[in-house]
Amino acid sequence: MAVVFARGGVTAAGLLLVASVLVFALVRAAPGDAVDVEFGESGASALLTPEEEAAARARRAEELGLNRSVPEQYVRWLDRVVRLDLGTSYRTGRPVADELVERLPASAALGGAGFLVALAGAWGVGLLSARRPGGLADHLLRLLSLAATAVPTFLLGSLALRYAADWFGYPVAGEATWRRLWLPAVVLGVGAMPLLARLLRASLISEHGQPYALAAMARGASPARVTFRHVMRPAFTPLLTLAGLTLSSLVAGTVITEVIFSWPGVSGYAVAAIAAKDYPVVQAYLLLVVVVVVLVNRAVDVLQHALDPRVEQRAEATE
Amino acid sequence: MTGVNTRVGAAAVAAALLLAGCGDSGGDAADGAGSGTVRVVTSALAASVDPMAELSASYLRSVGAAEGLMRIQADGSVAPELAEKVEATSPTVWTARLRPDVTFWKGGAVNAAAVVASMERARAENTLAAGLLKDVTVAASDERTVTFTTKEPAYSLPYALAHYQLVVHNAASYPAGSSGTDLATADLTGPYRITGFESDRQMVLERNDRWWGGTPGLAKVAVRKVADPQARAQIALSGQAEIVQDLPTDRAKELAAAPDMSLVAKPAANTVTVYLNPSSAAAPALADQRVRRALAWGVDRQEVVNLATNGLSVPAPSWLASNPAFPDAANQGYTRFDKATAERLLDEAGWTLGADGKRAKSGKPLTVRLLTFGAEAATGEVLQAQWGRLGIDVQVRNVESSLINQSIETGDWDAVTQAWTTLGDTPKLIAAQIGPDGAANHGRYTDARIPGLLAQAAGAADEAQRTAAVYELNKLVAELAPSIPVHPRVLATGIADTVTGFVAHPLQYENIVQPKMTLG
């Protein structure tokens, strides 16, 4: 286990370094910068001569550090980031770390709740479908899963918001409260559920055909006992990787849902920052996404080793 | 086995609960329903309580938390606000007499010294303010008189003083280097003072009992930013806010028919305009004035308004037509849809119609790439169809504004939509459109008549001469056709029936919370 941790730590550090370069390069690859946005929106151009505007732009670029070369900007940024200083937002002038910390709990709550909805739904659908493969319930649930996959989140979210506001007086905008959490969580969960459900179904069917499950049946165990007592745990193991990816994407990448539901999380915050070319915020957000993905994947690795020791044995056998 | 699953599930639930950050017990200052509070939902909110921070002053002003020496009225005229009177004592000297006993929120006097300090801080801290105060010296003549001295005659200075970026603030209250998000530093004037603030998210304002204009009509105002237009529409429809700004025009019918609220649509003082590049290598036809005029005649503006704005805007036959201070501009330019003239001009320019319904010249098809931004995508699509009927192949792409700016900088563009403000210091605004160095003169169009007319518009001693020059310039813009005016943007606001006193204004930053509003 210690080896797993050590190896994971080194890999994660390397990944983060590569990701930091990519994040920095990608953010700057988009046309325009914060100075362009500020001048474009303020209308100052109409009142200045081209020379005055150029001088004002240069001054602002210097204030923001955008007059330096991109590699120099990167080194300075990385130097701050390793000291956990994510910089200052161009728009608000506040430390980005403070603004992210304020919003992260709301995103974590939404992503976590959406994940639970997806997991619970996948568990139910997977079980029902695997009970009688090819049966009516299996076909119906497959159809529903396909429909849930096909409907884009923005459409499902907009419709849900519309009818929930009309029928239940659901508060369309506001803080991250329990009263507001359930609807975006359901929307997120429904979107993420089908893939998990299909994988669980296939895994359950496969495990039911394994000798240990057949032996249990032969010993007179009921189908329910075989499923819950013998098959469920190994059937869940292949699901862990996908569940981990789903969790990380739900925690840090729920842009559309956060915008539609005016949820005060990090993704909605990042969208506004992208529009304003607020580089420190966008970079910090993307880095956060990478960190969440890396951490969740490390956690999944550890969990897989804990749940199924054969994983470690197979890894050792291949070395 | 079941035990393991239960433990995993329980751990997940616990983790979610720990991470939640959800709570119903407080902190939602902008909800405030049912306590005499007017709930306002906007598409954008100030990032800072410092009006000199970028993109903050207009939002502060829009919610009644900032005032200037002057204010632009709904009819386009300018009237004193914190000033009692502003008058020219010579062509280059203006004096502003301040109202007596006006105080900042914290009680400091708004006297001449404070106004000078505010103006000088604005000049130093904000590029837009510096542009407005360019070549203007500001000095206190006595306790209540501020003198503005300009290098050249500046007859439109009152409009500059009405600009949101010159709102009067207590300069001493904003320490150098502060982020501008610390509520304790905010010290302005206005009927409402900010008592709660979360940058770019929500703001709470309470009645300013010290306000010079009497008792403001509302006790409390809770403003929240909701970025998604469909969510804003839903808030208006479900009565979850009393004022909802910037509603999507595609839901106009539903909103207009909704009970307990009114949809107030006002054409904004900016004209959605298609700027044309005469130097485009991809669309050389645009170098020909006849082609540009043909495009302008070939726009059925009423149809564009009906389809792209659900009838909420109005046609703009000329660039200045969206400025209520120049009403005759609605009779200039492309006052009708004239397909026959458009076809004739294209034929004269050698772009003839082929059997395939497309126009071509020397075997090259007449094509135009049109870049649009934001809600103007709908306008672009209608134009594509209308110009398509003339035989012109138009490719429309809706992109972010920075891409449009970059395309203009590199010269790789044929046509782009933009909507520059038309109301304010009109000579300067029209100079930006057509002047030799104009920021919106993207195609660098020139004409021998322009410099003289610009000088007359800005500096003629007689007001009638200045007005005539502005109209002449507007006519010239239509004639040269560097750009094609289409329609003003729409300010669509949902107002609950319980709110009285809302007056629609063509400037967005004057269009939300107004002092005389009351909650019934």
pLDDT in tens, B483-520: 999 999 999 999 999 999 999 999 988 878 998 899 98
- What is the three-state SS of A219-239? CCCCHHHHHHHHHHHHHHCCH
- Residue B177 pLDDT > 80: no
Contacts 24+ apart (CB under 8 A), A36-39: A36/A277, A36/B402, A36/B405, A36/B406, A37/A275, A37/A276, A37/A277, A37/B401, A37/B402, A38/B54, A38/B55, A38/B127, A39/B127
Tokens of B217: 């009509």
The alpha helices in A132-254, defined as continuous H runs, are 136-150, 153-168, 178-208, 211-218, 223-225, 232-236, 239-252
Flag if B402 and A52 touch (Cβ within 8 Å). no
Give the separation between CA B166 and CA B173, rounded to whole angstroms.
Answer: 16
- What pLDDT, in 10s, does the model give residues B19-41? 445 554 444 545 554 457 999 99
Flag if A271 and B227 touch (Cβ within 8 Å). yes
What is each CA distance from B405 to A27, A32, A35, B409, B433, in whole angstroms? 18, 8, 12, 6, 15
Characterize the bridge pairing of strands B483-496 and B243-244.
Answer: antiparallel
Give the separation between CA A263 and CA A171, rounded to whole angstroms.
Answer: 11
Flag if A171 and B240 touch (Cβ within 8 Å). yes
Report the pLDDT value the prediction gives residue B88, as an integer from 0 to 100. Answer: 93
- How distant is the alpha carbon of residue B38 from its chain centre? 24
Report the pLDDT value the prediction gives residue B31, as an integer from 0 to 100. Answer: 54
**CB B361, CB B310: distance < 8 Å:** no
Give the one of A40, A46, A272 whose C-beta lies nearest to B429's C-beta: A46
User: Which of the residues B18, B43, B128, B397 would you substitute to probe the A interface, choosing the one with the greatest number of A C-beta atoms within 10 Å?
Assistant: B128
Q: Between these two residues, B163 and A7, which has the higher pLDDT value?
A: B163
Flag if B4 and A228 touch (Cβ within 8 Å). no
Least Cα distance to A195 among A226, A228, A149 occurs for A149
**CB B255, CB B233: distance < 8 Å:** yes
Walking along chain A (319 residues) 10 residues at a time, the average pLDDT comes out as: 70 83 85 81 76 87 89 91 89 89 92 93 90 87 86 89 90 89 93 90 90 90 87 83 82 82 90 88 89 84 75 59
Give the one of A36, A228, A277 whose C-beta lies nearest to B1's C-beta: A228
Reduced to 3 states (helix: H, G, I; strand: E, B; else coil), residue A19 is helix
Give the one of B22, B55, B131 whose C-beta lies nearest to A178's C-beta: B22
Report the pLDDT value the prediction gives residue A311, as an integer from 0 to 100. Answer: 64
What is the Cβ-side half-sphere exposure of residue B95, based on CA atoms within 13 angstroms?
9
Mean pLDDT for the stretch of residues B451-455? 95
User: Which run of H or of E encompasses B158?
Assistant: helix B157-161
Give the separation between CA A12 and CA A2, rounded to whole angstroms.
Answer: 15
Give the separation between CA B148 and CA B93, rounded to whole angstroms.
Answer: 6
Spatial CB neighbours of A229, under 8 Å, sequence gap ≥ 6: A216, A221, B1, B2
- What dihedral angle (degrees, nearest 10) is formed by the CA atoms of B466, B467, B469, B472? 180
Report the pLDDT value the prediction gives residue B509, as an integer from 0 to 100. Answer: 83
Flag if B238 and A175 touch (Cβ within 8 Å). no
What chain A residue is nearest to B409 in terms of C-alpha separation?
A32
Report the pLDDT value the prediction gives residue B383, as an integer from 0 to 100. Answer: 98
Whole-structure pTM over 0.90, yes or no? no
What chain B residue is nearest to A101 in terms of C-alpha separation?
B21
**What ipTM goes with this model?**
0.80
Spatial CB neighbours of B107, under 8 Å, sequence gap ≥ 6: B210
What does the DSSP assignment read for A61-88? HHHHTTTS-HHHHHHHHHHHHTTT---B
Report the pLDDT value the prediction gives residue A121, as an integer from 0 to 100. Answer: 93
- Average pLDDT value over all residues in chain B: 91
Please tell me if residue B35 touches chain A, with a CB cutoff of 8 Å: no
Give the separation between CA B474 and CA B449, rounded to whole angstroms.
Answer: 12
Residue A81: count other Cβ atoms within 10 Å of its Cβ: 17
Spatial CB neighbours of B160, under 8 Å, sequence gap ≥ 6: B132, B133, B136, B154, B166, B424, B425
Alpha-carbon distance B421 to nearest alpha carbon in chain A (angstroms): 8
- What pLDDT, in 10s, does the model give residues B97-122? 999 989 999 999 999 999 999 999 99
- What pLDDT, in 10s, does the model give residues B358-415? 999 999 999 999 999 988 999 999 999 999 999 999 999 999 888 898 899 899 999 9
Give B-chain residues touching A119 at CB under 8 angstroms: 12
Give the separation between CA B13 and CA A93, rounded to whole angstroms.
Answer: 36
